[in-house]
C-alpha cells in the first residue's frame, strides 16, 4: 500500500444547500424515499432498500430460466448446474477437458471454484442434483430454488456491498447528500437488464460486475493494489471483464505517471497483479501436478484434444511441468474461443448491423478479425488516452462505460448479454454529481431501457415477456422516464436547444421501440425474412448504443476538463 | 404513490404456487356461471362447495362473465383443478383490481382525518395497504379479502361523521352478505348505531323513530336482495347449513394463535408429564418421548388420559381437536366467552359513543371472537389488525398495544405458506414491513396525555426482539437440526409465541380502552 493513501477521509457533512432537499420529488423513486429525506439514518434506510431489491430479485426468480424444458441442450441454467456437477465429481485436472460437447467449462478458474463451492453445498442438500451424468437437464423445482438462491447469495456477497460502498464514496466525492445517494443506489440495484439476465434468464454476471465495481471503488479510495487484485478476481470469474481492462490499465498507469511519477506504485501494482494471477491459477496448476502423480489423465476420453497438440510442439510431455502448461493452455483455449464467429446470434453491435447491408460471411475470417481489432482499438483509444492523461476519480464511470461500449460495438464474438458491461458503469453515473438530475438520468435511463429492449428477443424466446415488461416499466416509472414521463431531459442545467435536442433524439428511439413492440406482437414478418423484426431491433439498438458511446465520451471530456463544464455546446451528439 | 410498488410486487407473485383456495374460487366461478341460481348452494361436484353468502356468489357470477371470455374451460364445474395460465392470470388480476376498493376506502380515511393527524393517517393507511397479511392471504394464498376489507374500512370511515351514519350501517350490512365472518364485528355496529343513530344523543329514552325506520328498511332491502331469491325457493336452511358448518372442530388448525392454542398447548404439556410415567412402563414411542426428559414439570397430576387424542393435534392438520387431559371445549363455552368479552367493551361504547370508542369496540369484538371463537382461522387476525390500524396512532399507549399484535399476527400467518419458493417472499416482505412500519409508526405516534399504566412498552420490545430468533429457528434451524422429525415443534413454538403476543396485546389494549 502506498503510504500516502488517505484511506479514511473524515466524513463530510452533507451540503446544507443541497437543492434536492428543497424541491418536491421530481420522479416517483424520489417520492418513495421522500419520507426518509429528513432524519432517518442511513442504517435504517439501507436494510429496507436491500430487502426490497432482494424481494424483487426473488420474485423475478419465480419465472422460468433459460432452457427450461427445452431439450436437448437446455440453456445457461443447465451450463451452470453442469459445472457444479463436474467440479464436484471430477479431479481438478479434468475440469477443462470433460465432455466439451455438453456445456464444457469455458469460464476462467474463479467460476470453476465458485461452482465447486456451490456444488458442494448443494450436494449436502440433495446429492442427486449434481450426480455425474445422470443429473443432466434436471428440472427439479427445488433445485431451481437452490440455484436461484445461489445467484442471490453470490450477489449479496459481492455486487451489492461493492455497489453500496462505491455509491457512498462516489457521491461523497461530489458532496451529494446521503439521501440522494440512496436514490442512486436503488436505481442502480433495480437496473432491469441485470435482474432479467441474472435472476430470470440465469447467470452469475453480478459476481464479475461486483468485483469490477469493488475495484473501481478501491480506485476511489486510492488503494491501487487492491484495485488490481479485485480486477484480477473479476477477470478470473468471467473473461468478459476484459472490456474494462484497458480503462483499469490506463487509470492505474495514469495514477503512477501523469499525476506525478511514482515508480514504486507502478512496480507494486505490477507485482500484485502478477501474484494474484498466480494465486488464481495455483489450484489448477497444483491439481494438475498432483493428478499426474496419482496417474490421473486430464482427458481420459480423448488423447490430445483442444490446446494440447499445440503445446506439445513446444514442450515435451515428459517434462515434469508439462501438465501445468497443458492445463493452463487448455483453460486459455476454452476461455478465449477465437475459433468462433464474429458475432453470435443477433446482437445489437456494429458488425451485426453491417451484416444486414453487406454479407460479412463472404469475407475471409482473418480480414474480419483484423477489421474488428482495428475498429475496437479506434473506439477505445480516445477514452483511455483521456483517462490516462487526466486520471480523475469522477472520470472513472464514463471512461469505463465508453471503453465497454467500444468493445461491445466493435469487438469480436459479442453476445447480446454483454450489453450489461457498458450499462453497469454508465448506470453508476447516477451516483455522481447531478447524477439524479435530468440530463444524466435521461441518458442513463435511455441506455438501460434500450439495453433491455435489445434483449427482448432473447427473453421472448423463453416466454419471459411478463417479467421483461414489469421490470423495465417499473424502472422507467421509478426514474420518471418514458413511457411514464417525458420530463427528464427538461430539468435544470442545460440550454433549451440541448434539452429539446435530447428529448427529440431519445423520443424518436422510444417511439421506435414502442412501435417495434406493437409490430412484433401483431404483424407476421414477411415470408423469406423470418428474422426481420430481430434485425430491426438490432439495427436500432446499435445506433442507440453508438449514441450512448458518444455521450459517455462527451461526459468524460467534461469530467476531465477537456471541455469546460457548463459550456453550451449544441453539437452534443453529432 | 406506493400502491404501484405493491401492485408490481403482486403481479410478479402471480407466478407463486396456488393453494386450495385458488381452486375453491375457480370452482365458484364455474358454479355461478354454469348453474341456475337454485342449484348454487346444492352443487357439490367439488369438495369446495360454495359457502359464502349470496353477495359473494353474485360477485363471482359477475367475474365469471369476464372469466368466460378469458378461458371458457375455467368456468366448467367438472373441470376440477383447472389452472391454465389464463386462469391464473385472470384470477390473480381480479384480486389486484378489486383491491383498488381498499385503496379508495383508505383514501377516504385519510381525507376524513383532521389536519394535525393527516400524516399519521397516511402512514396508517399505507400500513394497511401494504400489509403482509393481505399479501400472504390474498396474493399468494389466494382470497378476495382486499376488497372486503375495503368495504369494512369504508363503513368504519363513514361512521366518523354524523351525517353518514346510515350509510355506514348499510355498507356494513352489505359486507355481511359478502362474507359472514364480519358478523363477529356486528355487535359493535349494533350498539353504536343504536346509541348514536337510533337514540337521541341527550337521552337514551328518546328514540329517533325516523332513523330507526330508515336503517331498518335499508338493511331489510339489502338482506332481501341477498337472501330473497333463495328464501323464495325455500333454500334458506340449506344456505345456512353451508354458511355455518358447526360440525367443524374447535381449532381450525393447530396454529391459530388464540386462547385455545394456549389451551391445547397446556394440554400437550400435561400429556408429556403424564407420559413420563407411562413411558417408563410402556415403550410406545410417540413423538413426545424425547421431550419427556425435558419436560418433567409435574411428574404426576393424576388426570385421566384419553389415548385416542394423543396424536391428533400434534400434526397441525385441519380437523377435530381432541384434548387428552383438559376438559373438552364445547361450542357453547366458546360462544359464551366470546359474547362476554364482546359485551364488556360495548358497555363503554354505549355510554360514550364516540368514533374512537366505536373503532376500539370493533377491534375488541374482533379480538374476542378471534381469541375465544369456535373454529377460528389464523387469517381472521386481519379482523383485529385492520380496524386497530385506524386508531393505533392516537397516542403511544395505543401503539404499544398495537406493536406486539402486528408482530404476532403476521408471524402467525407464516405456516399458511410452506413452499420454499415463496418462503423468502413472505419472510422478507413481513420483516421489511415490520421494520418500516415499526419505525414510522414510532415516529408518528404522539405522546399520551395519560401516564402509562404498566410496563407495556418494555414487554412489547422484549416480545418483538424474541421474534427474530423464533423466525430463524422455525424457518431454518429446525430443519437443519432435526430434518423432518418433530415437525410439530416449530408450529407449536410459532403458535404459542404468537398466541402470547395476541393475548398480551389484547389485555394491553383493554386497559388502554378503559382508561382513555
How far apart CA A93 and CA B334 sit, in angstroms, is: 71
Do B50 and B111 lie in one domain? The reply is yes
- For chain B, the residue count is 516
Candidates B1, B424, B428; nearest CB to A32: B1
Specify the pLDDT at position A211.
Answer: 97
The answer to the question of residue B252 being in a domain is: no
- Could you tell me which of A479, A418, A506 has the C-alpha nearest to residue A454? A418
| Cα B184 from Cα B373, distance rounded (Å) | 9
| A203-220 exposure pattern, b = at least 16 Cβ within 10 A, e = fewer | bbbbbbbbbbbbbbbbbb
**Mean pLDDT, chain A, as a whole number?**
85
For residue A21, the 8-state DSSP code is H
Q: How far apart are the C-alpha atoms of B378 and B255, rounded to whole Å?
A: 7
Q: Domain limits at A357?
A: 158-268+345-559
Per-residue confidence (pLDDT) for residue B21, from 0 to 100: 81
Binary contact (A35, B13; C-beta < 8 A): no
Query: Are A55 and B9 within 8 A, CB to CB?
Result: yes
For A39-93, write each residue's pLDDT tens digit.
667 778 899 999 999 999 998 988 888 777 677 778 888 899 999 999 999 888 8
pLDDT digits (tens, 9 = 90+) for A206-216: 999 999 999 99
Domain that includes residue B50, residue range: 3-243
Mean pLDDT by 10 residues, chain B (516 residues): 45 56 84 85 80 90 87 76 78 88 94 89 92 87 90 94 91 93 92 90 83 93 91 87 70 69 82 60 41 39 50 43 72 88 92 91 93 84 93 87 91 82 87 90 82 67 87 80 76 86 90 85
End of a domain among B243, B271, B288? B243
* Cβ atoms of A449 and A193 closer than 8 Å: no
Partners of residue B5 in chain A, C-beta under 8 Å:
32
Does the pLDDT at position A506 exceed 90?
yes
Domain count, chain B: 3
Q: Do B12 and A145 touch (CB under 8 A)?
A: no
Q: Does position A437 have pLDDT exceeding 50, yes or no?
A: yes
Query: What letter would DSSP give residue A101?
Result: T
- Rounded to two decimals, the ipTM of the complex is 0.84
**How many distinct structural domains can be found in chain A?**
1
Distance from CA of A141 to the nearest CA of B (A): 9
Residues B375 and B497 in one domain: yes
Lowest mean per-residue pLDDT among A339-343, A547-551, B243-247, B447-451: A339-343
Does residue B466 share a domain with residue B351? yes
Q: Which whole number is the average pLDDT over A235-239?
A: 93
What are the backbone dihedrals phi and psi of residue A414, each rounded to the nearest 5 degrees, phi first? Answer: -105, 145
What whole-number distance in Å separates Cα of residue A563 and Cα of residue A567? 8
Strands (DSSP E) contained in A135-231 are: none
Mutate to test the interface with B, among A62, A121, A152 (most CBs of B within 10 A): A62
Task: Give residue for cell 423469406.
Answer: A528
In a domain, B88, yes or no: yes
The three cell numbers of residue A475 are 424502472
d(CA A194, CA A187): 12
In this prediction, residue B312 carries a pLDDT of 47
| pLDDT at residue A517 in the model | 94
Instruction: Tell me the percentage of chain A whose pLDDT exceeds 70.
Output: 90
**CA proximity to B391, closest of B153, B168, B138, B169:** B153
Report how many helices (DSSP H) and strands (DSSP E) chain B contains, helices first.
Answer: 22, 0
Asked whether residue B236 is domain-assigned, the answer is yes
Can you give the pLDDT at residue A16? 40
Q: How many CB pairs under 8 A join A and B?
A: 57
| Structural domain contains residue A165 | yes
- A519, A512, A552, A520: which is closest to A428 by C-alpha? A552
Residue in B4, B11, B13 nearest the CB of A477: B4
- All residues of chain B having their beta carbon less than 8 Å from the beta carbon of residue A44 are 435, 439
Name every residue in B having a CB less than 8 A away from some CB of A.
Answer: 1-2, 4-5, 8-9, 11-13, 15-16, 420-421, 424-425, 428-429, 431-432, 435-436, 439-440
CA gap B336, A5 in Å, rounded: 76
Q: Alpha-carbon torsion A376, A381, A382, A388, what sign?
A: positive
Angstrom distance (rounded) from CA A12 to CA A173? 10
DSSP B448: P
Summarize the confidence of residues A459-467 as an average pLDDT.
84
Looking at chain A, the number of H-run helices and the number of E-run strands are 24, 0
Locate B112 and state its grid cell. 376524513
pLDDT band at residue A101 under the 50/70/90 scheme: confident
Contacts of A294 (CB under 8 A, 6+ apart): A91
Least confident of A191-205, A246-260, A412-426, B73-87: B73-87
Give the pLDDT score at A343: 65
Contact flag A62-B16 (C-beta cutoff 8 Å) = yes
Mean pLDDT, residues A457-465 taken together: 84
Identify the CA nearest to B359 among candidates B327, B398, B397, B320.
B398
Q: Give the pLDDT of residue B280.
A: 46
Distance CA B122, CA B100 (A): 16
Domain shared by B305 and B439, yes or no: no
First to last CA, chain B: 35
Pick from A424-428, A530-534, B366-370: least confident: A530-534
Q: Residue A343: beta bridge partners?
A: A414
Taking an 8 Å cut-off on Cβ atoms, the answer to whether B436 and A48 are in contact is yes
Answer whether residue B255 is part of any domain.
no
Amino acid at each position: 500500500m502506498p503510504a500516502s493513501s488517505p484511506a479514511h477521509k473524515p466524513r463530510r457533512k452533507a451540503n446544507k444547500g443541497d437543492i434536492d432537499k428543497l424541491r418536491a420529488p421530481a420522479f416517483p423513486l424520489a417520492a418513495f424515499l421522500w419520507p426518509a429525506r429528513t432524519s432517518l439514518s442511513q442504517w435504517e434506510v439501507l436494510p429496507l432498500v436491500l430487502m426490497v431489491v432482494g424481494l424483487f430479485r426473488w420474485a423475478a426468480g419465480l419465472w422460468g430460466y433459460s432452457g427450461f424444458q427445452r431439450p436437448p441442450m437446455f440453456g445457461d441454467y443447465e451450463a451452470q448446474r453442469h459445472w457444479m456437477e463436474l467440479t464436484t465429481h471430477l479431479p481438478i485436472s479434468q475440469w477443462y477437458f470433460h465432455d466439451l460437447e455438453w456445456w464444457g467449462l469455458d469460464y476462467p478458474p474463479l467460476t470453476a471454484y465458485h461452482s465447486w463451492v456451490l456444488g458442494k453445498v448443494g450436494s449436502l442438500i440433495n446429492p442427486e442434483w449434481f450426480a455425474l451424468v445422470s443429473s443432466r437437464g434436471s428440472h427439479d423445482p427445488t433445485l431451481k430454488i437452490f440455484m436461484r438462491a445461489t445467484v442471490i447469495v453470490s450477489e449479496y456477497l459481492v455486487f451489492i456491498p461493492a455497489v453500496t460502498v462505491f455509491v457512498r464514496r462516489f457521491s461523497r466525492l461530489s458532496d451529494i447528500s446521503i439521501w440522494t445517494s440512496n436514490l442512486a443506489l436503488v436505481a442502480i440495484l433495480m437496473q432491469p437488464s441485470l435482474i432479467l439476465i441474472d435472476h430470470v434468464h440465469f447467470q452469475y454476471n453480478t459476481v464479475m460486475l461486483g468485483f469490477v465495481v469493488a475495484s473501481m471503488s478501491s480506485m476511489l479510495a486510492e488503494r491501487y493494489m487492491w484495485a488490481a487484485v479485485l480486477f484480477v478476481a473479476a477477470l478470473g470469474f468471467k473473461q468478459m471483464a476484459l472490456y474494462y481492462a484497458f480503462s483499469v490499465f490506463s487509470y492505474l498507469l495514469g495514477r503512477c505517471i501523469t499525476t506525478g511519477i511514482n515508480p514504486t506504485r507502478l512496480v507494486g501494482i505490477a507485482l500484485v497483479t502478477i501474484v494474484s494471477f498466480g494465486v488464481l491459477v495455483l489450484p489448477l496448476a497444483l491439481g494438475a501436478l498432483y493428478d499426474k502423480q496419482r496417474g490421473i489423465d486430464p482427458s481420459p476420453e480423448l488423447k490430445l484434444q483442444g490446446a494440447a497438440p499445440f503445446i506439445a510442439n513446444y514442450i515435451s510431455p515428459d517434462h515434469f511441468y508439462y501438465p501445468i502448461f497443458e492445463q493452463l493452455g487448455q483453460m486459455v483455449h476454452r476461455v478465449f474461443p477465437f475459433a468462433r464467429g464474429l458475432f453470435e446470434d443477433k446482437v445489437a453491435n456494429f458488425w451485426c448491423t453491417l451484416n444486414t447491408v453487406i454479407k460479412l460471411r463472404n469475407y475471409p475470417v482473418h480480414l474480419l478479425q483484423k477489421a474488428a481489432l482495428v475498429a475496437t482499438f479506434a473506439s477505445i483509444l480516445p477514452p483511455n488516452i483521456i483517462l490516462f492523461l487526466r486520471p480523475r476519480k469522477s472520470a472513472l464511470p464514463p471512461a469505463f462505460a465508453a471503453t465497454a461500449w467500444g468493445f461491445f460495438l466493435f469487438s469480436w464474438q459479442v453476445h447480446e448479454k454483454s450489453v450489461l458491461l457498458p450499462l453497469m458503469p454508465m448506470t453508476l453515473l447516477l451516483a455522481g454529481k447531478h447524477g439524479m438530475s435530468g440530463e444524466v438520468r435521461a441518458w442513463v435511463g435511455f441506455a438501460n431501457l434500450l439495453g433491455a429492449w435489445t434483449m427482448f428477443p432473447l427473453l421472448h424466446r423463453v416466454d419471459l415477456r411478463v417479467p421483461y415488461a414489469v421490470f423495465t416499466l417499473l424502472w422507467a416509472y421509478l426514474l420518471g422516464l418514458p413511457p411514464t414521463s417525458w420530463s427528464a431531459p427538461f430539468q435544470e442545467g442545460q440550454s433549451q436547444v440541448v434539452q429539446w435536442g435530447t428529448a427529440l433524439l431519445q423520443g424518436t428511439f422510444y417511439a421506435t421501440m414502442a412501435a417495434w413492440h406493437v409490430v412484433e406482437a401483431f404483424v407476421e414478418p414477411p415470408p423469406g425474412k423470418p428474422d426481420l423484426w430481430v434485425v430491426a431491433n438490432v439495427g436500432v439498438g446499435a445506433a442507440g448504443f453508438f449514441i450512448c458511446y458518444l455521450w459517455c465520451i462527451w461526459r468524460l471530456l467534461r469530467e476531465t476538463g477537456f471541455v469546460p463544464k457548463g459550456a453550451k455546446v449544441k453539437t452534443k451528439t453529432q | 404513490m406506493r400502491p404501484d410498488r405493491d401492485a408490481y410486487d403482486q403481479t410478479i407473485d402471480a407466478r407463486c404456487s396456488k393453494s386450495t383456495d385458488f381452486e375453491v374460487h375457480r370452482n365458484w366461478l364455474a358454479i355461478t356461471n354454469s348453474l341456475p341460481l337454485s342449484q348454487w348452494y346444492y352443487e357439490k361436484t367439488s369438495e369446495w362447495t360454495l359457502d359464502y353468502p349470496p353477495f359473494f356468489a353474485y360477485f363471482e357470477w359477475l367475474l365469471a362473465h369476464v372469466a368466460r371470455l378469458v378461458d371458457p374451460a375455467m368456468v366448467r364445474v367438472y373441470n376440477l383443478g383447472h389452472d391454465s395460465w389464463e386462469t391464473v392470470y385472470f384470477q390473480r388480476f381480479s384480486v389486484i383490481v378489486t383491491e383498488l376498493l381498499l385503496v379508495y376506502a383508505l383514501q377516504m380515511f385519510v381525507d376524513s382525518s383532521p389536519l394535525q393527524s393527516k400524516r399519521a393517517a397516511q402512514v396508517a393507511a399505507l400500513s394497511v395497504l401494504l400489509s403482509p397479511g393481505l399479501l400472504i392471504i390474498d396474493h399468494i394464498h389466494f382470497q378476495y379479502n382486499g376488497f372486503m376489507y375495503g368495504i369494512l374500512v369504508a363503513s368504519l370511515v363513514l361512521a366518523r361523521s354524523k351525517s353518514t351514519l346510515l350509510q355506514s350501517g348499510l355498507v356494513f350490512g352489505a359486507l355481511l352478505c359478502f362474507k359472514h365472518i364480519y358478523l363477529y364485528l356486528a355487535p359493535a355496529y349494533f350498539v353504536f348505531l343504536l346509541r348514536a343513530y337510533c337514540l337521541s344523543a341527550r337521552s337514551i329514552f328518546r328514540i329517533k323513530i325516523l332513523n330507526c325506520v330508515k336503517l331498518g328498511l335499508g338493511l331489510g332491502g339489502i338482506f332481501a336482495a341477498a337472501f330473497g331469491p333463495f328464501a323464495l325457493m325455500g333454500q334458506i336452511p340449506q344456505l345456512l347449513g353451508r354458511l355455518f358448518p358447526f360440525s367443524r372442530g374447535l381449532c381450525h388448525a393447530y396454529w391459530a394463535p388464540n386462547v385455545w392454542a394456549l389451551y391445547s398447548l397446556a394440554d400437550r404439556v400435561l400429556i408429556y408429564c403424564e407420559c413420563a410415567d407411562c413411558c417408563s412402563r410402556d415403550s410406545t414411542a410417540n413423538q413426545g418421548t424425547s421431550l419427556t426428559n425435558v419436560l418433567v414439570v409435574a411428574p404426576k397430576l393424576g388426570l385421566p388420559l384419553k389415548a385416542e387424542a394423543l396424536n391428533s393435534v400434534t400434526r397441525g392438520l385441519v380437523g377435530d381437536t381432541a384434548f387428552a387431559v383438559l376438559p373438552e371445549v364445547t361450542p357453547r363455552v366458546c360462544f359464551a366467552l366470546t359474547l362476554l368479552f364482546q359485551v364488556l367493551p360495548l358497555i363503554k361504547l354505549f355510554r360514550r359513543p364516540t368514533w374512537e370508542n366505536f373503532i376500539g369496540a370493533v377491534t375488541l369484538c374482533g379480538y374476542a371472537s378471534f381469541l375465544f371463537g369456535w373454529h377460528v382461522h389464523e387469517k381472521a387476525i386481519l379482523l383485529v389488525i385492520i380496524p386497530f390500524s385506524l386508531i393505533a396512532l392516537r397516542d403511544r399507549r395505543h401503539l404499544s398495544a398495537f406493536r406486539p399484535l402486528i408482530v404476532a399476527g403476521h408471524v402467525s400467518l407464516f405456516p399458511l405458506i410452506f413452499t420454499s419458493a415463496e418462503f423468502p417472499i413472505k419472510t422478507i416482505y413481513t420483516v421489511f414491513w415490520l421494520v418500516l412500519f415499526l419505525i414510522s409508526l414510532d415516529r408518528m405516534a404522539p405522546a399520551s396525555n395519560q401516564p402509562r399504566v404498566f410496563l407495556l412498552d418494555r414487554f412489547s420490545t422484549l416480545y418483538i426482539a424474541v421474534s427474530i430468533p423464533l423466525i430463524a429457528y422455525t424457518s431454518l434451524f429446525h430443519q437443519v437440526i432435526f430434518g423432518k422429525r418433530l415437525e410439530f415443534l416449530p408450529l407449536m413454538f410459532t403458535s404459542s409465541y404468537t398466541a402470547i403476543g395476541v393475548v398480551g396485546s389484547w389485555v394491553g389494549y383493554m386497559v388502554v380502552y378503559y382508561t382513555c
